[in-house]
Structure 1
Amino acid sequence: MISAGMAMVLAVAACSDPTQDDDTGSAGDEGTNGASEDTTLNAYLYQPPAANWSPMAPANGSDGIVMNLIYDSLLGVDPDYELYPRLAVDMPEISEDGLTITYTLQEGLTWSDGEPFTAEDVVFTYNLMADPDTGSTASGRFADVVGAPEVAAGTADTVTGFTAPDDHTFQIQLAKPNVGLVGLTGNIWIVPQHALESVPIDEMDTTEFFTQAPTVGLGPYVFQEYRTDQYVHLVKNPAFREGEVDIDEIYLRPVTSDVATAQLGTGEMDLVQISPADLETVEALDGIEVGSGPGAGYIRTSVNEKKPYLQDVRLRQAMLYAIDRQQLIDEALGGHAQPVNSSFMNDALPDGLETYEYDPDRARELLAEMNWDPNQVITLTWIPGQRDRDTAATVLESQLGEVGIKLELNQVQPGQLTDMMNNGTYDMTLYGGGNYATEPFAVYAINGCDTFYPTGGNLSYWCNEEFDALMLEANATVDETARYDLYRQAGQIENAEVPMIYLYNPDTIWAHSDRLSGFVPNGDFTNPFWNVQEWSLDG
């Protein structure tokens, strides 16, 4: 049964599309009414992009969706969270001593502007990623590569451990074994050396190529235009894998999940990530197919431990006890999620973790122990538009308030949040994403003492030297059994110290028009287009 609220949204969406102007003259409008032979896919973008299409920029899911279409990488991640070759011919070879990683690249590939793709483009890109002066938040991942520490310190211009023995071979030389490096860096988006080599390194994060028009890429689509808060327009790249792409154009439309779901019903949207709360409604629609996949990351709030009033571990533990996460999952996600008590997943997840079951009395005890000031205001900042996250914010405000933690909600746009992150002015941020299922060492990027934002993804500024030592030892351990035992030990520490407020790991549910063929649902909501070159769209 369709709720009154959803019925109202359906009625409004049937009358007008708030993301489309009458004067655009876009093929996106033609594609939805059959007035053109070209095929045009209209897809939901879960939030407006920050409009920084740089692989070096801080991770942003909506920008990442665009970059998955316009760029390509040596390796990709499939819906089972396994690595597979893309620009590489096969998975890389790792020498017996663990110190040399060798990628063999596909031959005959060209950039969208016709220039040949070579291993020098890969060397160029990896050098950008390893240099914090480019704005790279991933430079710390390369600390074990020969010459990378010197680049990070500003005493060298290029990483000597990145080489191209020939046009189709890329090698990484390590100072010590780093088992997780392939999983952490194999999916870096490769950018064109010929289009960017003249840009000064310290201007790379502000160059127009990344902030306005990344028109040269190796991906299945070529960037055309971003009309703020309306759409990102892309057209197929005829040079991609010898012209394999079938769908001519894609419009990514940043609307709220309610509007996206309504437009799916009216035919204005072809592909939508839907809220579990709308699943029953969507399944009742004619001509719509539904699929889902388990998430590789989770929804959480960072806690800025640079703020003195947020440093006590008992405060963070109290927050977890104060939140009824199962109720939140049942009400906001229809049960299509799991509570999370660690960043580790699959075989790296420890047994016997503290589950922080809903216990407001225990929360009050912890707050009393630390003499918490109930008049202290904590601001929770997030980008609105996804129903489950919007609901989570209001639930946190209510339930933390019940135990004496005064939470103030602050909705912002992506650019505002980026500014707050750069300035460190936030108290807590509500966000999600990450892939911790493919490579456990990915957890280090959000928890390591040397991965504080902006050089890494540690938005909480939590630091535990024992945790770091275990993670680094695991990453240098070739024996898989011993390696995963070390990760589980690190997980116990993380669980006890609560560097962030774990909420839930949501199932990602996709709904699409039955005109769309070839779509394979991916639990990573930032990577729905992982096999877009295999899609087709009937008129």
Structure 2
Amino acid sequence: MAMVLAVAACSDPTQNDDTDSAGDEGTDGAAEDTTLNAYLYQPPAANWSPMAPANGPDGVVMNLIYDSLLGVNPDYELYPRLATDLPEISEDGLTITYTLQEGLTWSDGEPFTAEDVVFTYNLMANPDTGSTASARFVDVVGGPEVTAGTADTVSGFTAPDEHTFQIQLTKPNVGIVGLTQNIWIVPQHVLADVPLDEMDTTEFFTQSPTVGLGPYTFVEYQTDQYIHLVKNPAFREGEVDIDEIFLRPVTSDVATAQLGTGEMDLAQIAPPDLETVEALDGIEVGSGPGAGYIRTSVNEKKPYLQDVRLRQAMMYAIDRQGLIDEAMAGEAQRVNGSFMNEALPDDLEAYDYDPDRARELLAEMGWDPEQVVELSWIPGQRDRDTAATIVEAQLNEVGIKLVLNQVQPGELTDMMNAQSYDMTLYGGGNYATEPFSVYPINGCATWFPDGANLTFWCNEEFDALMLEANSTVDEAARYELFQQAARIENAEVPMIYLYNPNTIWAYTDRLTGFEPIGDQTNPFWNVQEWSLDG
């Protein structure tokens, strides 16, 4: 491994020559190392700490150099990674037990045990480490004490033996499995002596996270040029096939051009570029639905936005399928609520495009056609910019005087803090893996800034169903409760649901085993199954 690292670090990956072709035979008859060049959609913040605030480009790197107890597949289903199976939840819902794979080692040869998991989860639960996730552990025994600074470790995280990790809860919280499944486990033997308040600035996370459990190990980051990774021979599923990966933060236009020249092997592309990329020789295209969606919040603290009939009228007034065809080249799906997969009932109101129905609802409620409603959003993403103009035109057509307001991120934050906005256009989230993740955007107790509820909608029946579902161990009963909550949300339309965008991937036909996923931060979810042919 030391030899591989030394050779890789000394090579100049930015230079192309005739000896660098993947899969070619050298003069001694041995196959050359295979190198994959992959697009990184933004430069990383270069803080590869699981405790740091979520940042997509850094997440791509961490998905390669670290590993987690569970993973998420392209269907957004949980599957075991470091664990042998999905966790066992006790009948009373108070104990969650993970059984870990045996015989695993860190990339430096040290054994991996349950103590590493306990160590990592304690870091995640402690805000002194820079963790932004401590609130997830409020129902874990001892979690609130660590958050308050009256305890150093969470007593509810234990390792009964070296292959078992347990979480003890003060009350049932089934959703904690889905909300914490992707915590990247870090090495206790490397980090145990780092003071907690220095953990987020330690060199290991900010410069050289070279010890991990992932399929690749970190070599170097050349700022704004590339991140260089080499395969980890100690990976749990055996040595991966592709020897090294260069993640290159370039613009999407450059990535598209480099696909055509052969300089880029894998890239995420924008829908407007799809036709161009599909015409390239030797390039395959695949896509997967995202786990979140694009929507506009409606600020119900404004008296003129409180009537549910107004929000229903907006849904009928917008030709969402036409928007998808125009802004997303068809690479998206209409949504009629926040819930996905099994939590989504099949009897929701579809809000098909019906401007006449929209006008009827507005007349019924006595809507003032002179009332101005402002839609604020951060410009720069082509699909959202197009969506904003379409929404403006179609709401004006039915008698809602919508005006557009382009703002910068700081301006929007100020408007959110002041609760001065009428509507905002935004997207994101993962509501496909764990349905309880819908609660923070809709709950009565999660109004911004205490939570992510930007609409200030509140329905006590919805809340009760969500909280009951989160404490229900029986899966069928749990999803029935989520579906009941979904019907309430769909009927009251706290936000205007637009579309769930696909993530589109383009890749060289020399790459086999690649399976597209809608999560743009985890294209390498099954990289151990990939091969790169000459």
Q: Answer yes or no: same fold by TM over 0.5.
A: yes
Please state whether the residue corresponding to 2:280 is helix, strand or coil. Answer: coil
Tell whether 2:365 aligns with 1:379: no
Please tell me whether the aligned partners of residues 304 and 310 of structure 1 are also in contact (alpha carbons under 8 angstroms).
no
2:260 matches 1:265: yes
Structure-1 separation of matches of 2:54 and 2:196: 20
* SS of match in other structure, 1:72: coil
Instruction: Give the aligned partner of residue 40 of structure 1.
Output: 35
User: 1:533 — aligned with what?
Assistant: 528
Q: Equivalents in 1 of 2:364, 2:150: separation in Å?
A: 48
Partner of 1:102: 97
CA contact (8 A) 2:315 2:496 kept: yes
Partner of 1:27, secondary structure, is: coil
The equivalent of 1:185 in structure 2 is: 180
Q: Identical aligned pairs, as a percentage?
A: 75
Shift of 1:499: 4.2
Per the TM alignment, residue 132 of structure 1 is displaced from its structure 2 partner at its CA by: 4.0
Rg larger in structure: 2
Amino acid at match of 1:62: P
Question: How far 1:98 moved relative to its partner?
Answer: 2.8
Partner of 2:56: 61
Task: Please state whether the residue corresponding to 1:190 is helix, strand or coil.
Answer: coil
What is the match of residue 473 of structure 1? 468
**Do structure 1's residue 388 and structure 2's residue 383 form an aligned pair?**
yes
Greater shift in the superposed pair: 274-283 or 335-344: 274-283
Partner Cα separation in structure 2 for residue 293 and residue 60 of structure 1: 21
Counterpart code for 1:90? D
**What is the aligned counterpart of 2:406 among 391, 404, 409?**
409
Mark the CA change 1:349 to 1:376 in structure 2 (over 3 Å): closer, same or farther. Answer: closer
Which runs of structure 2 are paired with 1:234-383 in the superposition (5 Å)?
234-241=229-236, 244-301=239-296, 312=306, 320-321=315-316, 323-358=318-353, 362=358, 365=362, 378-381=375-378
Is the Cα–Cα contact under 8 Å of residues 28 and 41 in structure 1 kept in the other structure?
no
In 2, are the aligned partners of 1:400 and 1:407 still within 8 Å (CA)? Answer: no
Which amino acid is 1:410 matched to? V
Paired residue type of 1:185:
T
- How far apart in 1 are the matches of 2:403 and 2:142? 48
Q: 1:424 to 1:189 in 2, by over 3 A?
A: farther
How many residues of Structure 1 are paired with residues of Structure 2 in the alignment? 510
What amino acid is aligned across from residue 525 of structure 1 in structure 2?
Q
Q: One-letter code of the match for 2:529?
A: E
* TM-score normalised over the length of structure 2: 0.81
Can you list the C-alpha shifts for 1:88-129, whole angstroms capped at 9, x where unaligned?
Answer: 122222233332221121233233344332212211221232
Q: Is the 8 A contact 2:417 2:449 kept in 1?
A: no
1:124 alignment counterpart: 119
Match of residue 85 from structure 2: 90
Cα distance in 2 for residues equivalent to 1:121 and 1:165: 13
Which sections of structure 2, spanning at least 5 residues, go unmatched?
1-9, 23-31
2:478 paired residue number: 483
Cα shift at 1:134 = 3.9
2: CA distance, partners of 1:194 / 1:422: 43
Task: Return the alpha-carbon distance in structure 1 between the equivalents of residues 451 and 236 of structure 2.
Answer: 33
Q: Distance in 2 between matches of 1:176 and 1:168?
A: 25
Pairwise CA distance, 1:76: 1.0
Indicate if the aligned counterparts of 1:31 and 1:41 stay in contact, CA closer than 8 A. Answer: no
Query: What is the DSSP-based 3-state SS (H/G/I as helix, E as strand, rest coil) of the residue aligned with 1:115?
Result: coil
Q: In the aligned structure 1, how far is the partner of 2:503 from the partner of 2:486?
A: 25
**What SS does structure 2 have at the residue aligned with 1:101?**
strand
RMSD over equivalenced CA pairs, Å: 3.8
**Is the 8 Å Cα contact of residues 274 and 509 (structure 1) preserved in structure 2?**
yes
Cα separation, 2, equivalents of 1:379 and 1:136: 30
Secondary structure of the corresponding residue to residue 121 of structure 2: helix
Question: What is the rounded CA distance, in whole Å, between the counterparts of 1:66 and 1:438 in structure 2?
Answer: 21
Amino acid at match of 1:165: P
* Shift in Å, 1:531: 0.8
User: Could you tell me which residue of structure 2 aligns to residue 14 of structure 1?
Assistant: none
For residues 123-159 of structure 1, the C-alpha deviation after alignment (integer angstroms, 9 at most, x for no partner) is 1221232334444443333333222233334433322
In the TM superposition, residue 170 of structure 1 has moved relative to its aligned partner by: 0.6
TM-score, normalising length from structure 1? 0.81
Distance 1:50-1:357 versus aligned 2 partners, 3 A rule: farther
Greater mean deviation of Cα atoms: 278-287 or 165-174: 278-287
From the superposition, tell whether residues 481 and 165 of structure 1 become closer, same or farther in structure 2 (CA, over 3 Å).
closer
**Could you tell me how far 1:394 is from its partner in structure 2?**
4.7
Matched residue SS, 2:236: helix
CA shift in 2, pair 1:387/1:232, >3 Å: farther
Which 5+ residue runs of structure 1 have no aligned equivalent? 1-23
Q: How far does the alpha carbon of each residue in 1:374-411 deviate from its partner, in whole angstroms, 9 at most, with x for none? A: 667553126x4x54344334545655677423222236
Deviation digits for residues 229-288 of structure 1 (CA, Å, limit 9, x no counterpart): 544333333332375122232222334434323321221211122334444443332212
Select 2:515's aligned residue among 515, 520, 527: 520
Q: 2:6 aligns to what?
A: none
Residue from 485, 490, 495 that aligns with 2:490? 495
Q: Deviations over 1:406-452 (max 9, x none)?
A: 2222366xxx7998799789957655443323322222244345556
In structure 1, how many angstroms separate the alpha carbons of the residues matched to 2:284 and 2:497? 32
